[in-house]
Amino acid sequence: MRIIVVGQGPFGEKVLEALIQKGEHVVGVVCPPDRRGEPLKALAERSGISFCRPNEMKDPQVYDMYVEVYPDLSLLAFVTDILPERLLRIPCLGTICYHPSLLPRHRGASAINWAIINGDTHTGLTIFWVDEGIDTGPILLQKAVEVAPDDTTGSLYFNVLFPMGVEAMVEAVDLIKRGEAPRITQDESKATYEPPCDDAVASVDWQKSAKDLYNLIRGCDPQPGAHTTIKGKKVRLYDAELHPSAMEKHPGEILSMEKTALRVAAKDGIIEIGKLRFEKGEKMGPMEFAKSADVTAGDRFGD
């Protein structure tokens, strides 16, 4: 079975590496021209696999490569661009894609972020057959996982959904080779779609509940970083902890600054922040931040 791998970053690299180790016949690699594509490009070069690095999947060079290597199966391993229909028609066995949620819930580019922001207690991954919609194709396989109360988007992805996703991609290829890969229609009545988790989403509203604030901060950790302001400066918040309690202080008010955490009042609890970062600069601990921002207990975020 002739396979073409489209992807980027460490995930794309690990999927390609796993396929090579399994002895699969990978005939082509497509990856971005910037640093996101470097790991895949380097591995393809070392393995003697043809590759191209287009700006967009609709670029003519991608179609030309597909026609040249004529894959039986196209495999999308972390792809943020939309494949044009003519590419979907070439592989005789179809195109499959990794998505880090239990589809049809959390369609879109920021599935892990939204699972945490929404307070989901479980999520997972889906390998699905690509069609012309956005994450709408039939399901090939799914794997569910619990979301720990202290998980961030980073920890859930790198510790769980990344390695599990690599294994799932290899498993999906095996099922296809054996002719045992299902095509389960997604239940549209259960579908959700959220926009990319960007700064418009990541703005902290201190009038929300402590739990909602906590979920937002960890759902935006490490990217894009939930943000607020203090003394007119934009600040991003990381490494949060939640402590529900009765609270009479103003939401957003700094209660204390300690070596390991900056304690901030919420409507019904306390949010502890372990790391902070100005719009330009590196993450810093609470004491360094307090000194740098010239803030003390009683000052308020969101001023």
- Give dist(CA 204, CA 302) in Å, integer: 8
**2-190: CATH number:** 3.40.50.170
How many whole angstroms separate alpha carbon 3 and alpha carbon 49? 11
User: Would you list the DSSP string of 244-273?
Assistant: E----SPTTBEEEE-SS-EEEEETTEEEEE
Are the CB atoms for 220 and 197 separated by under 8 Å?
A: yes
Q: What contacts 68, CB < 8 A, 6 or more positions away?
A: 28, 50
The span from the CA of 95 to the CA of 76, in Å, is 7
Q: What is the pLDDT of residue 280?
A: 86
Under CATH, to which class is 199-293 assigned?
alpha beta
What is the DSSP secondary-structure string of 97-149? EEESS-TTTTBSTTHHHHHHHTT-SEEEEEEEE--SSSS-SPEEEEEEEE--T
Helix (H) or strand (E) holding 160, with range, is none
Q: What backbone phi and psi angles, to 5 degrees, belong to 291?
A: -70, -45
The end-to-end CA distance of the chain, in Å, is: 60
| Strands ordered across the beta sheet of 25-30 | 51-52, 25-30, 2-7, 73-77, 95-99, 122-129, 139-146
Q: How far apart are CA 170 and CA 186, in angstroms?
A: 22
Smallest Cα–Cα separation from 6: which of 42, 45, 54?
54
| pTM of the predicted structure, to 2 decimals | 0.96
Backbone angles phi, psi at 110, to 5 degrees: -125, 45
Q: What is the model's pLDDT at position 248?
A: 84
User: Strand pairing partners for 25?
Assistant: 2
Phi-psi bin for 88: left (phi > 0), alpha (psi -120 to 50), beta? alpha
Query: Rounded distance, CA 194 to CA 104, Å?
Result: 12
pLDDT, one tens digit for every residue, the chain (303 residues): 999 999 999 999 999 999 999 999 999 999 999 999 999 999 999 999 999 999 999 999 999 999 999 999 999 999 999 999 999 999 999 999 999 999 999 999 999 999 999 999 999 999 999 999 999 999 999 999 999 999 999 999 999 999 999 999 999 999 999 999 999 999 999 999 999 999 999 999 999 999 999 999 999 999 999 999 999 999 999 999 999 988 889 999 999 999 999 999 999 999 999 999 998 889 999 999 999 999 999 999 997
Domain range annotation of the chain:
2-190, 199-293
SS3 of residue 281 by DSSP: coil
